[in-house]
Amino acid sequence: MRVPLSWLVDYVDIPSDVAAMAHRLTLAGLPIAAIESTGGQFERIEVGRIAALEKHPNADRLLLATVDLGEGAMTVVTGAPNLQIGDHVPFAHVGAELWDYHANPPIRRALREGRIRGVTSRGMVCSAAELGLGDDHEGILILDARHPVGVPLARVFGDTVLELEVTPNRADCLSLLGIAQEVFSLYGGDLRQPRIDVVPPGESDALSIEIASLDLCSRYCGLIVDRVRVGPSPVWMQDRLAAAGIRPISNLVDVTNYVMLEFGQPLHAFDLDRVGGGRVIVRNARPGETLETLDGVVRRLQTEMLVIADSERPIGLAGVMGGRDSEITAGTTRVLLESANFQPTSIRRTARHLKLPSEASRRFERGIAPEIAWLALHRAAELIRDLGAGEPRYPAIDCYPRPVDRPPVRVPIAEFERLLGIPIATQEVTEVLQRLACVTVVEQGVIVVMPPQRRLDIAIAADVVEEVARIVGFDRLPERLPAGSLPPVDQANAPAFEDSLRDALVAEGAAEIVSYSMVGEAARDRVPVEPLGEPLGDQFAERLLPAQQPLALVNPLSSEMALLRTDLVGQMLIAIRDNGRWFDRDVALFEIGRIYLACGEDLPEERRVAALGLGGHQSGESLDARRATDFLDIKGCVEGTLDRIGVRGAVFAPMRHSLFRPGFAAAVLTGDPRDARAVLLGGMGEVDVAVRRAHGIDGPVFLALLDVARCQSGAAPLVRVEAPSRFPVVRQDLSVNVRRAVSVEDARRVIARAVRPIGREIALVDVYPGIDAGTADLSLTFRITYGADDRTLTDAEVGRAHRAAEDAVRARLNGRVRGRDD
């Protein structure tokens, strides 16, 4: 908000050091973004008085104006029709920079001496457009006669303007009276309020008001103004509005804007003769209704939008903008002056939906006290009367069905020391609160505070303490080290590990998504969390899909964001569905986020989880080919991710859970699942058909969930770098036929025991089903790496170890060795 100090000084004494005042206001919670000094653009322009007017000897439509400048006079050529002898006008000397409004876009040009129809003109009398003070370029700007002849125009229009960044909770500071109160609370002095003669409300035979949507409009005040004379507002009012960033329009409109800036209460003026039936109804828009707003745009209204309507149609968007059909024109003779209080959320949604921000909506959406509407209406009526723009017809109508009764705030005196850390004397507290226009009563160790009407942000004891602290100065608060022991340092460095996990998942070809931590009840119900009584599946559910009631938010943004999530599954499946509509292959997504688990009365546990999802198809061998994703794809991604983050020796074991298709799910553990010391790191598999269809997915989807904290605990703390062995290794393949019920891990474990101690690595390199349906269902090929640190292995050693592996397959797995047993 722009605050001209020449206007603010009407209400409060301003210190001489404006920069120091701005700094202190900023420290008190009212940030000053900039201090702007205006008037520099008026160099070589001064106030002159029209001393004589003569016709141009060579042109019928031009005049020769003699301008008295105090210490001399200049004669210039002008075509303005509105000049009269005695008018005070701006006079620009040669070299002054003026706006050329004929250029597109307008630019500033230096004024040069000119010869017009044989008469030399060494200056120029200026319009508002040429000075950059408005859009009017038809006539010369007539100044107030109180401005002395010969003074620089910078002294007339120059001012110091504060640019405020008003926070959302301080709607009162979107008014000059609110800012004056802030300055007074910091510096004291004299606080001056406009004198307003408030007339009690009554009824009118020419106007009726009805509030049909009481939840969206708490108060609506209306006053009829007769004998309206529409014209320009006085120069002093135009100057103040322009300095505050508001374009002057006409006397009636300028008065409403003036009062809005003064009180923070938006007002609107309707042409009463264009209000059907003399009836005003504040209601929700009806289906299919439209409204042409003042900017000339026809807008389609939604039923949740609040409108001001007459007996036939909408005539204004409540709290946002008026309608074209009821605007003030030069022919207006009767006006309905509106001052109302609207529900902030409704105004905000309407303005955002229609992309129609305004000075009015900016104030309404922050919240305005209903009491201000009545005062602002009478202030505007008095200004209209004083300016000769019309005659208010009292009494005004006040439709206020449910008056708001704000209770006082009770603050224990000990609360100031508890929250601020220093004692503040009760007398000082009451003095500060009284400077803030609060009414205080001290009783039995408690200060009872009644905040001023405009301060809706003071509602609880902590608000009162904050008000006192910011006025006495936060610099009074002592510098103290935190009491008690410091929180333990996270030696594991969780953020760094999450970064390495993120890099590993990206290296596997997945793209990261970030979803909201809040979900709706419907989204949660689509994800099955019931365990099936299988040990590994139950462990998986307990860590990564807990079946517990989620925490509900007290003030959710919407019903779809009302609960804190307890899993990442639903949002991952939605993301896979949405991406699958644009890509027919290689949909690979991951998210590293937190799930929130209730812990009684304590804060919820925030468990870190990584989710990896694959779509139904992967790229094939050629550019236009694709293949179906299978279980080995998700397993390979998990294996590669764990290997990159330093989790060695992870074991995959079959498990059952209602999230996954039966027979296509596995748990990821740190060791043999039969070993009680093995820790479950996560689980993976193909998503069950019913689950994916509930999320709108037709094809197969594969999902993996990892417990980030457990993966971090199981990761190698250091990367060991070893010199390559001086002795070569030997690699041999072993192909075996086994029953389909035999897992790859079981086969690998049997072979690893048999080739000790020279077996370095056993890697699965091929799976081929249905080699011999009579004796085996699956053919597995392992690549065994043999080696020693102190010698080169002989062929005999390698042969004995390889035959031991073959014997172990026959004895332990009841399998056959391809090439020997066939």
What is the average pLDDT across 243-270?
Answer: 94
Tens-digit pLDDT profile for residues 9-26: 999 998 888 899 999 999
Place of tokens 């009365």: 601
> Which tokens belong to 424?
């503040």
Distance between CA atoms of 108 and 100, rounded to whole angstroms? Answer: 6
Distance between CA atoms of 66 and 76, rounded to whole angstroms? Answer: 7
Provide the residue ranges of all domains of the chain, joining segments of one domain with +.
2-39+159-187, 41-157, 208-399, 414-476, 494-714, 730-817
- Among 484, 473, 483, which Cα is nearest to 420's? 473
Cβ neighbours of residue 464 closer than 8 Å, sequence gap 6 or more: 409, 411, 433, 438, 447, 449, 458
Residue 232: per-residue pLDDT: 92
Distance between CA atoms of 164 and 365, rounded to whole angstroms? Answer: 18
Place of tokens 């008000």: 467
Distance between CA atoms of 802 and 782, rounded to whole angstroms? Answer: 12
Element (H, E) at 559: none
Distance between CA atoms of 211 and 260, rounded to whole angstroms? Answer: 22
Q: How many residues are listed for the chain in this entry?
A: 822
Tell me the three state secondary structure of residue 5: helix
Tens-digit pLDDT profile for residues 513-555: 999 999 988 888 888 877 788 899 999 999 999 888 899 988 8
Place of tokens 């999902």: 703
Distance between CA atoms of 280 and 694, rounded to whole angstroms? Answer: 49
Give the DSSP letter of residue 793: P
- CA triple 354-360-364, angle to 5 deg: 90
In a 10 Å sphere around its CB, with 0-12 CB exposed, 13-18 middle and 19+ buried, how is residue 54 labelled?
exposed
Domain covering 730-817: architecture: 2-Layer Sandwich (3.30)
What is the average pLDDT across 190-201?
Answer: 92
Statement: residue 744 has pLDDT above 90: no
Distance between CA atoms of 99 and 80, rounded to whole angstroms? Answer: 17
Fold of domain 41-157: OB fold (Dihydrolipoamide Acetyltransferase, E2P) (2.40.50)
Dihedral, CA of residue 43, residue 49, residue 50 and residue 52, to nearest 10: -120
Beta strands of 187-241 (E only): which ranges? 208-211, 217-226
Statement: residue 492 has pLDDT above 80: no
Tens-digit pLDDT profile for residues 125-159: 999 888 887 777 788 999 988 788 988 888 777 78
What is the band of 720 on the pLDDT scale with cuts at 50, 70, 90?
A: low
User: Considering the domain 2-39+159-187 in this protein, what is its CATH number?
Assistant: 3.30.56.10
Q: Is 246 left (phi over 0), alpha (psi -120 to 50) or beta?
A: beta
How many other C-beta atoms can be found within 10 angstroms of the C-beta atom of residue 392? 20
Distance between CA atoms of 159 and 35, rounded to whole angstroms? Answer: 10
pLDDT > 90: what percent of the chain? 63
What is the average pLDDT across 273-296?
Answer: 93
Residue 525: per-residue pLDDT: 82
Tens-digit pLDDT profile for residues 408-457: 999 999 999 999 888 999 999 999 999 999 999 999 889 999 999 999 99
Cβ neighbours of residue 602 closer than 8 Å, sequence gap 6 or more: none
What is the band of 581 on the pLDDT scale with cuts at 50, 70, 90?
A: confident
* DSSP result, 343-385: -HHHHHHHHHHTT---HHHHHHTT---THHHHHHHHHHHHHHH
Statement: residue 120 has pLDDT above 60: yes
Cβ neighbours of residue 621 closer than 8 Å, sequence gap 6 or more: none
Strand 314-317 with 290-292, pairing: unpaired
Residue 317: per-residue pLDDT: 95
Distance between CA atoms of 236 and 251, rounded to whole angstroms? Answer: 12
Residue 717: per-residue pLDDT: 65
Tens-digit pLDDT profile for residues 783-796: 999 998 888 999 99
What superfamily in CATH does domain 494-714 come from? Bira Bifunctional Protein; Domain 2 (3.30.930.10)
Distance between CA atoms of 408 and 449, rounded to whole angstroms? Answer: 5
CB 689 within 8 Å of CB 704: no
Global pTM? 0.57
Distance between CA atoms of 649 and 30, rounded to whole angstroms? Answer: 59
Tens-digit pLDDT profile for residues 615-667: 998 887 777 788 899 999 999 999 999 999 989 888 999 999 999 999 999 99
User: Considering the domain 414-476 in this protein, what is its CATH number?
Assistant: 3.30.56.10
Cβ neighbours of residue 78 closer than 8 Å, sequence gap 6 or more: 62, 63, 65, 124, 125, 140
What superfamily in CATH does domain 208-399 come from? Phenylalanyl-trna Synthetase, Chain B, domain 3 (3.50.40.10)
Residue 819: per-residue pLDDT: 66
Strand 97-100 with 107-110, pairing: antiparallel
Mean pLDDT score of the chain? 89
Distance in Å from the first CA to the final CA of the chain: 89
- CA triple 414-171-470, angle to 5 deg: 35
In a 10 Å sphere around its CB, with 0-12 CB exposed, 13-18 middle and 19+ buried, how is residue 574 labelled?
middle
* DSSP result, 524-544: HHTS-----S-HHHHHHHHHH
Tell me the three state secondary structure of residue 367: coil
Which residue type sits at 262?
E
